[in-house]
Amino acid sequence: MSFWIDPINFVIAWLKGLLESWGLQPGLVTFVMYLIGAFVTTLLAMLLVVFLIWLERKLIGRVQDRLGPNRLGPWGIFQTFADMLKIFTKEHITPDGADGVAYNLAPVISVGAVLMVWAVIPFTATVVGVDFNAGVLYLMAVGALGEMGVILAGWGSNNKYAMLAAFRAVAQLISYEVPMVLALMIPVMFTGSMSLQALVKEQDIWFIFLAPVAALIFFISSIAEVGRTPFDLVESESELVSGFNIEYSGLKFGMFYVADFLHAFTISLLFAALYLGGWRGPGAEQYPMLGFVYFALKTAVVYFIGILMRASLPRFRIDQMMDLNWKYLTPLALVLVAATAVAGKIVPAEMAGLRLVVMLALNGIIFAAADRLMTRRRSARRQVAQAPRPVAHYVQPAPTDPGD
Amino acid sequence: MITGLQAFFLVNALITLFAAVKVVSSRKLVHAALWLVLALMGVAATFAMLGSRFFSVIQVFVYIGAIATLIIVAVMLTRNSMEDVGPQVNRGWWLPLVVVVLLFVGLVVVLSGWGDFGLSTRTVGAEGENVMELGKALVDPNGFVLPFEIASALLLGAMVAAIYLATDRKEGKR
Amino acid sequence: MNMDLLIWLIPLPPLLAFAAIVLFTNRSKALSHSLAIGAAGLSWLASMVVFFTAVGREELAKHPLGVDLKVNWLPLGDGAFKIGVQVDPLSAVILFFVAWTVLMIFVYSVGYHNFGQPAGDHDKPGLPPHGATVKVKGHGHQVPSVEPMYSRFFAMISLFAFGMFLLVVTDNLLTLYMAWEIMGLCSYLLIGFWYAKPSARDAAVKAFLTTRVGDMFMLLGMAALYKMTGTLNYQEILANPTVLEMLASQAAPVLGLSWAGLIGILIFMGTVGKSAQFPLHVWLPDAMEGPTPVSAMIHAATMVSAGVYLSIRFFPLISAGWDGGGALTPAMMTLAVVGAVTALFAATIAVAQNDIKRVLAYSTISQLGYMIAALGVGAYVAAAFHLVTHAFFKALLFLGSGSVIHGMEHGVLHTHQHIDPQDMQHMGGLRKKMPVTFWTFLAGGLALSGFPLVTAGFWSKDEILSGAFNGGHVWVFVILALAALLTAFYTARQITLTFLGQARSEAAEHASESRAVMTAPLVVLAFFAITAGWVGIPKAFPGLGGLVPNWFEEFVGEMLLVHGEAAHHSLVPLITSLVVALGGLALGWWVYRDVRAGQKDPLQKPLGPVYTLLQNKYYFDELYGATVVRFSRWVSEVFTDRWLDRGVIDGILHGIAAAGLWLGGVLRNGFDLPVINRFLGDTVVAGGTRKLGAETSKIQTGRLQQYMLMGLAVVLAASAIIYFFFVMA
Amino acid sequence: MLDDWLYLGIFTVISLFLPAAAITIAALLSPKKPDPLKTSIYECGMETVGETWIQFKPQYYVYALVYLVFDVETIFLYPWAVAYNQVGLFAVVEALLFIAILLGGLLYAWRKGALEWA
Amino acid sequence: MIPISWFLIFSAALFCIGLFGVLARKNTIGMLMGVELMLNAVNINLLAFWAYRYAGQMNGLVFVAIVFAAAAAEAAVGLALIISVYRRRTTVMADELNLMKG
């Protein structure tokens, strides 16, 4: 194995050989390797946030016709480090009557729940933390842990507004998990496995083409899961001071911040892996590192779209948000699963081209119908009662009389 | 000699049981709910040790994600009982305790009389359960299609009943 | 696709449509009828595929389609009762006309229920629409309004279609019975569709109960059949000479009949109810209370055909023991008598009716009697043939009459004249106003009266007549010929009164042609009313015979195990049918050629009391009212309620009560007060019990957990005991 | 099999450890000057009135409930989805029935007005 | 490897603790939590027997899935009942809900 073909595995193999040469037991070697792997992955993810914060500030600044951070280092790239230093040294204020364990555990769980997703993501054809055969459900389960973090934060702070906000946030999180689960079911159906690596490998045709509406649902609901614009009711920066994390300060608050950015990036990763073919691309099989690049590019595109949305869309009202979820996305996802299941059986997987066409058409039809229903429902609400119209069969349209 | 796995089992079991005890004895109901979450995590780990990845993950997803959340929400909704003054167990708590201990002893006695009690070889392989086979069995007309459909009917019934109960009748009419 | 599966799927779409309409699309009229028609269309398509496959098969009767795919239905002690489907020549031809007529009805209904019109001003669900006012340039116009329960109607006829298709394709009597009852239910619902009209309600109940009488007998027949043969599958009974012979040779304990005869007659009773044969015919004319042409059509062309279909299906059983030429079996005799009597009797009533639909209703009864009589004399193929042709032209006539009524209603709305739009007395001269309806109605009418050579009715009727004559059953032949004469007469009367001459009311002058969605089915059906006969021209027919192969006879005749002797074709029935058809038509036209408005029926004077008798349908309703209905009332009100319940049972109970009271008094004063209360009560027993109760009721704390605890403790103790004493031991 | 779990376990521990460590370090680094005003509950500058635990509306319960039902549905539908390529049309129809029944529940909640936020 | 007995005893202990919660806890929601613990113990048992003896068969897994569904339904309806009772009587304490007292 050459370094240039698959550097990550090369390093892994080298390390392994090194450890074994020290005379460690094979079990211990595995353990240490896992420890290193996990540590490196999580640390990289955490450090990535520093870059992401800078990137996002810069980009949003550009969108808003500002410069963004521009003082420290080239293009202000060290701004975040300065911020980090500041936040590291700020005082941790624990509010009166806070529930110590819950209060302190909440930020840890929030970050941990996002980091844990990284354990199952296939970065290249050969590098995947663990090719877990219930991977898709693992993602959802980890999401459930994130909810616990929010609840703990809200409850631990001993503040009624934090509590209220936490419950609003939890309502949002759990609501949007429903269409997400359903949207994820469609790739699983096509693949016949819940392992993320298998999902990526199955994507000879990207699932975004086979199931565009499912991809859209997944995208929308994952943005809602992150709680970014237009779903940032949890924070509502321009209206409220903050949400469930109002009583936090210093790095404990910083951790929620980190979790937010990391989560936003993680869902981009997931979207790229689940619907955009992950690391797949020309030559990615032979040169796994190339796959890493493809994956990073795809993720960047998705993340960029997320930032654009954040910069351009107004915020939903909470009832609109709930309506969107329960009265639009969830029924749509259910119907989509049903329709895709039937269509997939009628057009077998062997006829890939036909299947693609059929699926595209089906998605188009369903989306158009859903859109139409949605529009009609909305306009029906607004519609003023009209007088009954005459019937064409018996009544000729009256000729317009200019003298009238 | 205790292997690593066995040690992990013991630690996990102790944590789980401790959490369970806290669930039934915590003063604050919210604490009880949070301990319940921990106990459920322990059970999920136990599932994993038993070789069922699917149900291990599902345990976290459904029990912690949904049922625990539901319980916490319900606690919040009935909250005047939350600042729980006084004992949280009934006065005659020793009687259930005796019964329960008796039950436990009885169970252990009965179980230890079972021939396979010390069984330590598994039939499940390293790859864990086969979710695909489970899926096939669930929709196989000669398999479990009836439980499958009845489960959906059960969920529907639960949903309808719970919504009916939980929403205020005066406001709920439409 | 797999043909077996396809046959299974034929009845399914209407059922799904029914469910979908009832559950989901009830609000949307357009969606409801699209679903219903789409489903009927699918069934139609499948039926056509099956039909033409069946036509192309060799030896279809011996190896029907669809028999390979069966499912277990009822688990029995050993094995299971299997149900399945089969399409043999008979089912195939029935399927053909059912699919066509059902589709046509569905399409027609859209127009009939005024789809696309505004909702009525005062329309309520449960009443026919009364029309709506539309303003055009400030002037109010009355236009027909849409049926308020539009979707419901389509749901019901979809369910009905499901029943009919199921009945046709099934392979056993049990499923047939189920389909039969589904149709019974639908017919009840559809007759009583306008349930706010008392007459419709009564008619629905009447139809339901009357057919139930027949169904009861049929169920008995089924039970007997199952007991004797251990199966209800057609193939295993009707195509199995051993079974038939066994049934024919063993004597049943009733009236000296053989089992075959008894079961045949019992099952035939089902037909009598469903196909409205004498004496259970009374429900059918009243059934015209349903939404005019469509439900009438269901009750006249489709469902009643099911009754005849049953008899035709069971002809091998009914005729078991008959050698094809000699004396008729008792069951066949029953059929022949009932059929012939019904044919003549209903035809006479039809002559004196003025309601356009009632005429057709009685005509239907009469024609069904024809088929039954044909079966009775062994003219199996002729009966099936007439069933098919009749279905087409009677459907046509009913839809045509619906169209006429629709046109008249339009006139009534336009002129605000208060007349019955169904009464032929008020019509006349509609030929110009409603040309399509007229020409198609004419085609149907001529087919009904057996207009020679060109119409379908002629060929089938001629075959029945010749069957009766050549079989040597002259009395049947004479009665049927008379009925045919009357048929031609009242048909001519109807056409003349409705379409020819001058308009006899203002409304008739303003009648207008119906919409294309209504007339198009008429045209399609008219095509079949003319051409359906040409597939069954007898070989021996002078001149034409042999030009076209007698396909129908070859195809359906294959069904028979015992073939009748080759008919030596005689000219007598041919000439008779020519004479009666043409003569009746001419006579009818001549008598009614110029009836003026307000004039009485020209026949009223010469016939006198006979006419009144006919007009009142031989007072059958009154007769039943005075006997059967009154008897049942008496039984329930007087006998059961007053005598049995209140007299005997209450009397006994009251007696016991009084005796108990007396005994109680004696005991109380003599024993209880002194002995028990004084000595035991206050001291030992009651006091002790009270104390015990007070103690134990403490357990009853109302606390869930304590109950659970107690339950658990008991279970635990019991398990421990069981374990130690039984398992360990 | 256990290797997977080992990695996941290590990963979980580390991903919880890392933020915890960061917070601990920060806590050591940061100044500690508690002050009653600082540690009071934030309530837009007002004193906290009444208990912290305010009444919640049952809407939250309904959302959690519907979510629970759909969660449980995944237990049944995900194995079906995994087996989807291996089963016939009939199995798909069964699953459709399952979905339809659930959809019925959703529609009930909808009609009942339980999904309205207000 | 771990013998099956460990799992069985673990699950029996969990079951008994849950049962104690159901029997002794004053708060009805607390009782429900006890029920959840008991159901979890049941699931451990089911999976243990499945893993050690019947891994080839799907019965055990299907049973677990059904227990999940039943637990969900039980929690949903039970909590809704408690909420409904709370609205009427403003209490969720089992010992105060004694309308059925004899």
Q: pLDDT tens digits, residue range E47-73?
A: 999 988 887 888 888 999 999 999 999
pLDDT per residue over C164-184, tens digit each? 899 888 888 888 898 888 888
Residue B171, pLDDT > 50, answer: no
Question: Do the chains contact at A89 and D19, CB–CB below 8 Å?
Answer: no
pLDDT value, residue E14: 94
Q: Tell me, what's the ipTM?
A: 0.69
Regarding whether D8 and D33 lie in a shared domain, the answer is yes
pLDDT band, residue C293 (cuts 50/70/90): low
Regarding whether C210 and C280 lie in a shared domain, the answer is yes
Which residue would you say has higher pLDDT here, B107 or B86?
A: B107
Q: Which of A381-395, C230-244, C484-498, D36-50 has the lowest mean pLDDT?
A: A381-395
CA distance linking residue C482 with residue C240, whole number of Å: 38
Q: Does C517 touch chain A (CB under 8 A)?
A: no
pLDDT value, residue E69: 93
DSSP-H helix ranges across C10-70: 12-23, 29-56
Taking CA–CA distances from A188, the nearest residue in chain B reads B132
pLDDT band, residue E12 (cuts 50/70/90): very high
C-contacting chains (≥3 CB pairs under 8 Å): A, B, E
pLDDT value, residue A176: 92
Question: Do the chains contact at B37 and A133, CB–CB below 8 Å?
Answer: no
Number of C-beta neighbours around residue E87 at 10 A:
15
DSSP C75: E
Domain tally for chain C? 3
CA distance to partner chain A, nearest, from residue D58 (Å): 12
Mean pLDDT along residues C653-674: 81
pLDDT band, residue A297 (cuts 50/70/90): very high
pLDDT per residue over C484-498, tens digit each? 888 888 888 888 888
CA distance linking residue C614 with residue C362, whole number of Å: 11
CA distance to partner chain B, nearest, from residue E97 (Å): 13
Which residue would you say has higher pLDDT here, A1 or C59?
A: C59
Contact C99, C36 (CB under 8 A): no
- Of A205, A163, A144, nearest to A351 by C-alpha is A205
Residue C353, pLDDT > 50, answer: yes
CA distance linking residue C204 with residue C287, whole number of Å: 7
CA distance linking residue C522 with residue C528, whole number of Å: 10
Helix H or strand E encompassing A379:
helix A352-382
CA distance linking residue A222 with residue C485, whole number of Å: 82
Question: Do the chains contact at A393 and C137, CB–CB below 8 Å?
Answer: no
| Chain B partners within 8 Å of C709 (Cβ) | 95-96, 99
**Tokens matching residue A386:** 């009209």
Picking from A148, A150, A163 by the largest number of B CB atoms within 10 A of its own CB, the best residue to mutate is A148
pLDDT per residue over B52-104, tens digit each? 889 999 999 999 889 999 998 888 887 664 455 556 666 777 888 888 898 89
CA distance linking residue A260 with residue A307, whole number of Å: 13
Mean pLDDT along residues C278-291: 80
Adjacent-strand bridge partners of C545: C548
Regarding whether C698 and C655 lie in a shared domain, the answer is no
CA distance to partner chain D, nearest, from residue A216 (Å): 20
Quick check: is D118 in a domain? no
Picking from B156, B160, B174 by the largest number of D CB atoms within 10 A of its own CB, the best residue to mutate is B156
pLDDT band, residue C75 (cuts 50/70/90): low
Regarding whether D76 and D36 lie in a shared domain, the answer is no
Regarding whether C644 and C530 lie in a shared domain, the answer is no
Domain ranges of chain E: 27-91
CA distance linking residue C209 with residue C283, whole number of Å: 9
| C-alpha angle C510-C512-C513 in degrees, rounded to nearest 5 | 160
Q: Report D:24-83 residues touching A (Cβ under 8 A).
A: 25-27, 29-34, 38-43, 48, 52-54, 56, 59-60, 63-64, 66-67, 70-71, 74, 77-78, 81-83
Instruction: Say which of B34, B54, B65 has its CB closest to residue A144.
Output: B65
**Tokens matching residue A218:** 């997944």
pLDDT value, residue C702: 65
Contact A285, A125 (CB under 8 A): yes
Using CB atoms within 10 A of its CB, is residue C259 exposed (0-12), middle (13-18) or buried (19+)? buried
Q: Could you write out the DSSP letters of every residue in A119-135?
A: GG-B-SSS-BS---TTH
DSSP C27: G
CA distance to partner chain C, nearest, from residue B23 (Å): 17
pLDDT value, residue B59: 92
Residue A266, pLDDT > 50, answer: yes
Size of interface B-D (CB pairs under 8 A): 153
pLDDT value, residue B173: 38
Mean pLDDT along residues C524-535: 84
| Chain A partners within 8 Å of D3 (Cβ) | 30, 130
Question: Do the chains contact at D75 and E83, CB–CB below 8 Å?
Answer: no
CATH of domain E27-91: 1.10.287.3510
Structure-token match 């087409």, residue found: C392
Q: Does D69 touch chain E (CB under 8 A)?
A: yes
pTM for the model? 0.61
pLDDT band, residue C328 (cuts 50/70/90): confident
Mean pLDDT along residues D1-15: 83
Range of the domain at D91: 58-112
Residue C451, pLDDT > 50, answer: yes
Question: Do the chains contact at B95 and C716, CB–CB below 8 Å?
Answer: no
Question: Do the chains contact at E98 and C702, CB–CB below 8 Å?
Answer: yes
Using CB atoms within 10 A of its CB, is residue B127 exposed (0-12), middle (13-18) or buried (19+)? exposed
pLDDT value, residue B168: 65
Q: Whole-number mean pLDDT of chain B?
A: 83
Residue A383, pLDDT > 70, answer: no
pLDDT value, residue B172: 39
Instruction: Say which of C702, C704, C705 has its CB closest to residue E102.
Output: C702
Q: Which of C308-322, C391-405, C431-445, C553-567 has the lowest mean pLDDT?
A: C553-567
CA distance linking residue C86 with residue C67, whole number of Å: 5
pLDDT band, residue C144 (cuts 50/70/90): confident
Regarding whether D43 and D63 lie in a shared domain, the answer is no
CA distance linking residue E41 with residue B17, whole number of Å: 11
pLDDT band, residue B13 (cuts 50/70/90): very high
Q: Could you write out the DSSP letters of every residue in chain B?
A: ---HHHHHHHHHHHHHHHHHHHHHH-SSHHHHHHHHHHHHHHHHHHHHHTT-HHHHHHIIIIIIIIIIHHHHHHHHHTGGGTS--S-SB-TTTHHHHHHHHHHHHHHHHHHHTSTTTT----SS-TT---HHHHHHHHH-TTTTHHHHHHHHHHHHHHHHHHHHHHS-HHHH--
Taking CA–CA distances from B77, the nearest residue in chain D reads D56
Quick check: is C277 in a domain? yes
Residues in chain B: 174
Give the SS3 label for residue C495: helix
Contact A97, D48 (CB under 8 A): no
Regarding whether C649 and C607 lie in a shared domain, the answer is no
Residue C38, pLDDT > 70, answer: yes
**Tokens matching residue C79:** 């094995």
pLDDT value, residue C404: 87
Domain tally for chain D? 2
Mean pLDDT along residues C276-287: 81
Residue C532, pLDDT > 60, answer: yes
CA distance linking residue A27 with residue A41, whole number of Å: 21
CA distance linking residue A170 with residue D61, whole number of Å: 11
pLDDT band, residue C680 (cuts 50/70/90): low
pLDDT value, residue B80: 60
Question: Do the chains contact at C141 and A393, CB–CB below 8 Å?
Answer: no
Quick check: is C320 in a domain? yes
Q: Does A177 touch chain B (CB under 8 A)?
A: yes
Mean pLDDT along residues A70-74: 83
DSSP A117: G
Residue A305, pLDDT > 90, answer: yes
Quick check: is C278 in a domain? yes
CA distance linking residue C301 with residue B149, whole number of Å: 41
Regarding whether D62 and D42 lie in a shared domain, the answer is no
pLDDT value, residue C76: 66
Residue E10, pLDDT > 90, answer: yes
Residue D44, pLDDT > 70, answer: no
Q: Furthest-apart CA pair in chain D: how many Å? A: 69
* Amino acid letter for position C97: F
Residues 6+ apart with CB under 8 A from C586: C492
pLDDT value, residue C502: 79
Residue A214, pLDDT > 90, answer: yes
**Tokens matching residue A9:** 């595995």
Mean pLDDT along residues A98-116: 90
pLDDT band, residue A384 (cuts 50/70/90): very low
Range of the domain at C716: 681-729
Contact C368, C311 (CB under 8 A): no
Question: Do the chains contact at E52 and B147, CB–CB below 8 Å?
Answer: no
List of long-range contacts for A234-240, beta carbons under 8 Å, 24+ apart: A234/A165, A234/A168, A234/A169, A234/A172, A236/A315, A240/A165
CA distance linking residue D19 with residue A252, whole number of Å: 9
Residue B15, pLDDT > 90, answer: yes
Residue A308: CA atoms inside 13 Å, Cβ hemisphere, count?
Answer: 6
pLDDT band, residue A239 (cuts 50/70/90): low
* CATH code of the domain in which D97 resides: 1.20.58.1610
CA distance linking residue A130 with residue A116, whole number of Å: 11
Number of H helices and number of E strands within chain A? 14, 0
Question: Do the chains contact at A144 and B37, CB–CB below 8 Å?
Answer: no
Mean pLDDT along residues A234-250: 74
Mean pLDDT along residues D100-110: 88
Domain boundary among D10, D28, D47: D47
Question: Do the chains contact at C704 and E94, CB–CB below 8 Å?
Answer: yes
Regarding whether C396 and C321 lie in a shared domain, the answer is yes
CA distance linking residue C352 with residue C494, whole number of Å: 11
pLDDT value, residue C544: 67
Domain boundary among C633, C656, C677: C677
CA distance linking residue A340 with residue A334, whole number of Å: 10
pLDDT band, residue B174 (cuts 50/70/90): very low
Picking from D5, D11, D54 by the largest number of A CB atoms within 10 A of its own CB, the best residue to mutate is D11
* Amino acid letter for position A74: P
DSSP-H helix ranges across A281-327: 288-312, 318-323
Question: Do the chains contact at E23 and C709, CB–CB below 8 Å?
Answer: yes
